């Protein structure tokens, strides 16, 4: 390939890059997920200009974009519940709290208990979160300080903890007006209708993300990762194409 041919191809590629960058800028308002199609379009155009074949370039771009979500860090297996923060290290959600709590239905109430042989209300809460890899304090007044406050009963989500005034009891909210708790001696762990009104409640605490919050966070991370992967692959393709053309020109 002659030097003139190389320069001509470089000019064509730059023109295509400018066009595609203009499209990418126009689509930015649509969100990070639009970056990947722009990268694929650039790969096809670049492959056509260099004669390398559209399918292989498109496959390389898709592979780079697809690697994004699977490369995310694995969450920690345990975490201490904190004051004013939601514990995310275990990967557990409010729905997981509900599922874990239901495993203890029928366990008898035993003051100070923390096992299937018997447990009290705060022992049940501590054990449920321990099963999910989240460390919680043992007694209700301390548990009432963990996580973040939920403003009202109407905003409570499955897995939240409801603590009445006086902090003498604690229940796990299941959603749909139901709670799960260890009531008192002579009773066992059970599901009942929530009997607490707003005026009865000292605080509602969210220890781990609700299922909706976790899903929204995951979607944002995936979109951001895919967008970054798409931008990186576009830059790599530009560099590789120009190097290839210059090498071909030198060989000629």
Which residues on adjacent β-strands are paired with residue 134?
Answer: 79
Q: Which residue in 121, 161, 226, 241 is the catalytic one?
A: 121
Query: What pLDDT does 223 receive?
Result: 64
Cα dihedral across residues 227, 231, 232, 233: positive or negative: positive
- CA dist., res. 119 & res. 141, Å (int): 17
> Helix crossing, 35-50 with 54-70: angle to 10°?
150
- CA dist., res. 173 & res. 165, Å (int): 16
Q: Which residue in 62, 113, 153, 169 is the catalytic one?
A: 169
Please state, in angstroms and as integers, the Cα–Cα distance from residue 69 to each residue in 34, 62, 66, 75, 91, following that order. 16, 13, 7, 13, 16
* 127 vs 231, residue with greater confidence: 127
Instruction: Flag whether 217 is in a domain.
Output: no
Query: What pLDDT does 141 receive?
Result: 97
Q: Is 234 a catalytic residue?
A: no
* 79 vs 50, residue with greater confidence: 79
pLDDT tens digit sequence for 96-111 = 999 999 999 999 999 9
| Domain that includes residue 69, residue range | 3-73+226-251
Instruction: Flag whether 34 is in a domain.
Output: yes
Query: What pLDDT does 55 receive?
Result: 41
**Do residue 126 and residue 199 come from a single domain?**
yes
Q: Which residue in 181, 210, 214, 223 is the catalytic one?
A: 181
Confidence of residue 170 (pLDDT cuts 50, 70, 90): very high
Q: Is 87 a catalytic residue?
A: no
Lowest mean pLDDT among 53-67, 175-189, 216-230: 53-67
Q: Is 229 a catalytic residue?
A: no
The answer on pLDDT for 116 being more than 70 is yes
User: What is the domain count for the chain?
Assistant: 2
CATH of residue 160: 3.90.1720.10
């Amino acid at each position: 390939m002659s030097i003139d041919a190389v320069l001509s191809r470089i000019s064509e590629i730059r023109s295509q890059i400018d066009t595609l960058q203009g499209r990418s800028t126009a689509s930015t308002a649509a969100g990070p997920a639009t970056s990947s199609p722009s990268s694929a379009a650039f790969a096809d155009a670049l492959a056509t200009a260099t004669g390398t074949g559209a399918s292989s370039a498109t496959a390389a771009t898709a592979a780079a974009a697809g690697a994004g979500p699977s490369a995310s860090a694995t969450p920690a297996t345990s975490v201490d519940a904190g004051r004013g923060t939601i514990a995310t290290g275990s990967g557990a959600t409010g729905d997981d709290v509900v599922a874990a709590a239901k495993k203890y239905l029928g366990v008898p109430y035993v003051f100070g208990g923390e096992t299937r042989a018997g447990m009290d209300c705060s022992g049940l809460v501590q054990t449920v979160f321990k099963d999910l890899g989240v460390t919680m304090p043992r007694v209700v007044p301390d548990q009432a300080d963990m996580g973040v406050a939920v403003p009202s009963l109407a905003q409570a989500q499955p897995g939240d903890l409801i603590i009445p005034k006086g902090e003498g009891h604690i229940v796990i909210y299941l959603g749909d007006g139901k709670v799960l708790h260890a009531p008192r001696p002579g009773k066992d762990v059970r599901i009942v209708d929530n009997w607490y009104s707003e005026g009865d409640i000292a605080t509602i605490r969210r220890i781990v993300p609700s299922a909706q919050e976790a899903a929204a966070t995951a979607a944002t991370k995936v979109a951001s990762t895919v967008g970054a992967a798409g931008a990186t692959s576009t830059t790599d393709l530009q560099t590789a194409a120009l190097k290839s053309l210059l090498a071909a020109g030198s060989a000629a």
